[in-house]
Amino acid sequence: MLQDKTIAFLAAPEGVEQVELTEPWKAIKQAGGTPKLISTKSGQIQAFNHLDKADTFAVDSTVEEVSAADYDALVLPGGVANPDFLRMDPKAVEFAKAFFQDGKPVAAICHAPWTLIEADVVRGRTLTSWPSLRTDLRNAGATWVDEEVVTCDAGPNKLVTSRKPDDLKAFCQTAIEVFGG
């Protein structure tokens, strides 16, 4: 379903929620796609299981080395610290924003919409997230709903969002469908 499609996963050097990285990664591979890990620094990223350090993962490229044109879609995994670090990095924000400008699909889970708020791409869209982002998203012009998975095509691209790790099965399935066209 995703043959010949390369999917960018954007994560900060530390703070990504491991399962929100590994489960979509595995789903992309099983669907025939090629996932690539993009970060703000080369080397490895440190994943977390909530607040505890988990595994490390090798970075394929940095945001300075690539552009959205190199990929067919973008996955933004959560974790509290991950999107907070990303939204403070102008190159990471521009990388995420470029997928919207290019009309390419994006999937974001848990706290990941913080990066999208910073990129100013949620206005007029309906999405979900970890509940603590509800006010931030509304203040940024989005409509927030409490649902397992939401697909919004109100803008130039499709945006898939989910709330938390418990939603990963629906998140992965919907992202694969959207990324496959």
Question: Does residue 50 carry a catalytic annotation?
Answer: no
* Residue-wise pLDDT tens digits, 97-128: 999 999 999 999 999 999 999 999 999 999 99
**Domain extents in the chain:** 6-179
What's the pTM?
A: 0.98
Tell me what pLDDT residue 4 has: 95
Q: By C-alpha distance, which of 172, 151, 1 is closest to 75?
A: 172
Kindly name the residue from 50, 111, 152, 172 that is annotated as catalytic.
Answer: 111
Among 50, 110, 152, 172, the one annotated catalytic? 110
Q: Of 3.40.190.10, 3.40.50.880, 1.20.144.10, 1.10.260.40, which CATH number belongs to 6-179?
A: 3.40.50.880
Q: Do residues 107 and 161 touch, judged by C-beta distance below 8 A?
A: yes
Question: According to the model, what pLDDT value does residue 155 have?
Answer: 85
Does the pLDDT of residue 47 top 90, yes or no?
A: yes
CA 74, CA 77: separation in Å to the nearest integer?
10
